[in-house]
């Protein structure tokens, strides 16, 4: 986020350890499009400039997402809704044409439990597959050079959701959607069985498309109420899952290794350390609050080098 560009320690970590950046918030519809239909671009423009100045690639995130744009698109009849939809994608993807390497064109389209697709204001207006095909077609028109991703979460954590996601990719490709890449957010559940992460990556690789690990973090906090594990046990599980993911990614053919992105640099930059989620201790990222490598950093390096 642009606020982090004013933190020299963040900038030093970002430009030392990373070659690509995903805006956590300010390239989303919830930032760019106001409820009255007006657009604001100061922050995303600043992020694009930061990347260009520092020789970093910029990954656009995200054009169409079920959770955003509800108010701005409310009350439009079918024709106006479709026109506004196309206009948003053309305006935003068009503005950053040649400045982004890629876009998450559609984010989180699969139902939470993995059983089918999510129902949302986009699907109700333009059809379950229709809104996705349309978004990819509009993004392709606006920026033919960008790699266009379908992006989702819990694809490793929930094999059923991962399978539904991949069936959706297959169906949309068959319908002619110009999907150029597969994005797996990888907000890892450190308690999933060994092998599950690698299995998803293998299945995803079968399409031959570039793969983006797009939002890796690995919370030490369990979904379970009662968590009797010691800190050491939790770190060991986190390291095992992160190494497995990094190894699975590095085992992909080079043409399919699009990028490997973490969702924040220091633990205290994480969304998991904000508001009511913050337990003051979680360590889901590569660097601690002081900017020193966590055990997860070594786990990642091990996975990449194996
Ligand atoms: O910073 C502004 C503050 O100035 C303003 O007063 C306030 C008013 O609501 O908003 C603040 O911005 C918040 C922003 O995070 C920065 O903290 C937004 O409200 C809030 O919606 C936004 O949340 C982001 C969330 O996506 C929704 O966009 C999180 O930072 C971001 O980590 C999270 O990331 C998502 C990915 O995009 C998709 N995958 C899941 C991942 C985690 O939820």
Determine if ligand 1 sits within 6 Å of the CB of residue 244: no
pLDDT score, position 105: 99
CA distances from 241 to 113, 259, 262, 273 (A): 22, 18, 14, 21
Using an 8 Å Cβ cutoff, are 88 and 142 in contact? no
DSSP 25: S
Q: How far apart are CA 23 and CA 25, in angstroms?
A: 6
Atom from ligand 1 closest to the CA of residue 271: 32
Determine if ligand 1 sits within 6 Å of the CB of residue 154: no
Mutate to test the pocket of ligand 1, among 2, 23, 24 (most ligand atoms within 8 A of CB): 24
Determine if ligand 1 sits within 6 Å of the CB of residue 2: no
Residue owning the nearest CA to atom 42 of ligand 1:
271
Distance 33 CA to ligand 1 centre (A): 14
Residue owning the nearest CA to atom 34 of ligand 1:
24
CA distances from 185 to 37, 168, 245 (A): 29, 16, 11
pTM over 0.95: yes
Determine if ligand 1 sits within 6 Å of the CB of residue 207: no
Determine if ligand 1 sits within 6 Å of the CB of residue 215: yes
pLDDT per residue of the chain (306 residues) written in tens, 0 to 9:
999 999 999 999 999 999 999 999 999 999 999 999 999 999 999 999 999 999 999 999 999 999 999 999 999 999 999 999 999 999 999 999 999 999 999 999 999 999 999 999 999 999 999 999 999 999 999 999 999 999 999 999 999 999 999 999 999 999 999 999 999 999 999 999 999 999 999 999 999 999 999 999 999 998 776 788 899 999 999 999 999 999 999 999 999 999 999 999 999 999 999 999 999 999 999 999 999 999 999 999 999 998
CA distances from 262 to 24, 171, 288 (A): 11, 29, 14
Question: What pairs with residue 293 in β-bridges?
Answer: 287
């Amino acid at each position: 986020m642009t606020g982090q560009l004013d933190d020299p320690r963040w900038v030093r970590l970002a430009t030392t350890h990373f070659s690509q950046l995903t805006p956590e918030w300010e390239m989303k519809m919830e930032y760019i499009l106001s409820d009255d239909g007006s657009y604001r671009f100061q922050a995303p423009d600043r992020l694009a400039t930061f990347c260009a100045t520092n020789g970093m690639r910029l990954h656009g995130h995200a054009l169409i997402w079920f959770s955003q744009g509800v108010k701005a698109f409310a009350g439009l009849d079918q024709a106006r809704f479709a026109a506004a939809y196309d206009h948003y994608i053309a305006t935003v993807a068009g503005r950053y044409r040649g400045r982004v390497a890629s876009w998450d064109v559609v984010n989180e389209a699969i139902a939470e439990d993995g059983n089918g697709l999510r129902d949302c204001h986009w699907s109700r207006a333009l059809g379950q597959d229709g809104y996705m095909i349309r978004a990819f077609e509009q993004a392709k028109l606006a920026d033919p050079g960008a790699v266009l991703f379908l992006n989702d979460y819990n694809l490793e954590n929930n094999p059923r959701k991962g399978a539904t996601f991949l069936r959706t990719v297959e169906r949309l490709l068959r319908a002619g959607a110009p999907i150029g890449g597969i994005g797996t957010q990888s907000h890892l559940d450190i308690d999933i069985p060994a092998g599950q992460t690698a299995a998803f990556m293998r299945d995803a690789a079968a399409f031959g498309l570039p793969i983006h690990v797009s939002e890796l973090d690995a919370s030490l906090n369990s979904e379970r109420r009662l968590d009797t594990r010691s800190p050491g046990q939790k770190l060991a599980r986190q390291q095992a899952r992160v190494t497995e993911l990094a190894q699975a990614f590095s085992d992909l053919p080079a043409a399919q290794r699009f990028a490997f992105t973490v969702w924040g640099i220091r633990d205290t930059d994480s969304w998991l350390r904000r508001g009511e989620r913050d337990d003051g201790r979680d360590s889901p990222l590569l660097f601690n609050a002081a900017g020193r490598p966590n055990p997860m950093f070594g786990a990642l390096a091990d996975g990449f080098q194996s």
